[in-house]
Amino acid sequence: MASERKISLIGAGRMGGKVVKALSENPFGGMADIIAVYDSDPQKIGKSLNELYGYGGDLIVSDISSNFLRCAGVLDFSNGSAVQENLPRVVEQMRPTAVIIGATGILSTFDARLAELAKKTRIARSNNWSEEVCYFLNKTVPDAASKFPISEGWQVDVTDAHHNQKGDGYSGTALTIAEITAGVNGLGKDDIVVQIPYKSSTLYVPYRELEKDFSSQELQKYKSKRPLNKIVLHTGTRAGNIIGYHRVDFYKGDLHEKIENDVPDRILFARGALKALFIMLGCFDEYPPGSVFEPKDIFDLE
């Protein structure tokens, strides 16, 4: 039987290191131990987290091993493709009590499969587990979107900035902000466009179509002036060691309002994910299998 104190970690990158550091701060009264760390990177396999990040003695393994059978909770900070490959095995074979997914880049085509897996165990997913960001997304953004509605002529732009190793054009959190803003305005995902520089022009591509491969000729149809009544998601800045910065600008004629959020340290993501995991492990009846939970379902936002 899995111990409620045992958790496993998938993904030994920078976020994995922050999870171990957050646990070393003992924020949960010593109630958790990491018993398995998995990563597919051959340069990390066989090394310890202490060797890579200066804290944590756990060796990184290349196989989701029998140790995962003894854990109550799983934290997954790998990447989108790894989640799609590993999560079915983790849930169906190892049956942890709760799984927290913090990886980004999960394709929307995996949503139906994720919903099926959530019927078998408790799953929560977010691109960003910082409690501060959760408040920004679920309080600050909706309030601003209500105050500056598109129906009254306000234009909305969403921008992000991250470190220079981040490969995606816009962050998952930026997309979430755009989706929330669309919902408040009575719009949908089809009303979100991505602004992309192309040669000497600017393209406004519906974000739902960005998973397609375009020819140069096909891209020409997206050359235009800014479309009306659309939320514009900008390709982000990728520079230096920026952890995570998001801004929403509201424009109407000469008027300009903005809201912004800046995360100073990745450990805030780790603390939030760990807190969510232990809330779910301790409150079985409040988080039954059957739904994919979000931070707003778990954290107290008042």
pLDDT tens for 33-78 read 776 788 888 888 888 777 887 766 667 877 776 666 678 889 999 9
| Tally of domains in the chain | 2
Separation CA 16–CA 56 (nearest Å): 10
Q: What pLDDT is recorded for position 245?
A: 96
Same domain? For 189 and 294 the reply is no
Question: The CATH number of the domain where 151 resides is what?
Answer: 3.30.360.10
Q: Are residues 25 and 86 in the same domain?
A: yes
Residue type for position 158: V
**Residues 14 and 121 reside in one and the same domain:** yes
Distance of CA 186 to the CA centre of its chain: 24
Residue span of the structural domain in which 232 resides: 131-263
Residue % of the chain over a pLDDT of 90: 51
More confident residue, 4 or 256: 256
Average the pLDDT over 103-125 and give the result: 92
pLDDT for 26 beyond 70: no
Q: Check whether residue 113 and residue 9 sit in a common domain.
A: yes
pLDDT category at 1 given cuts 50, 70, 90 is very low
Backbone angles phi, psi at 298, to 5 degrees: -110, -45
Average pLDDT over residues 84-105: 88
Residue 189 burial (10 A CB sphere; 0-12, 13-18, 19+): middle
pLDDT digits over 239-263, tens only?
999 999 999 999 999 999 999 999 9
Sign of CA dihedral 282, 284, 290, 291: negative
Both 241 and 270 in one domain: the answer is no
Q: What is the DSSP letter of 74?
A: E
Q: pLDDT at position 216, please? A: 67
Q: How far apart are CA 196 and CA 226, in angstroms?
A: 11
DSSP for 192-203? EEEEEEETTEEE
Q: Report helix, strand or coil for 79.
A: coil
How much is the pLDDT for 67?
62
Kindly tell me the sign of the dihedral angle through the C-alpha atoms of 4, 38, 23, 284: negative
Highest mean pLDDT, choosing among 7-21, 47-61, 71-85, 132-146 = 132-146
Residues 80 and 93 in one domain: yes
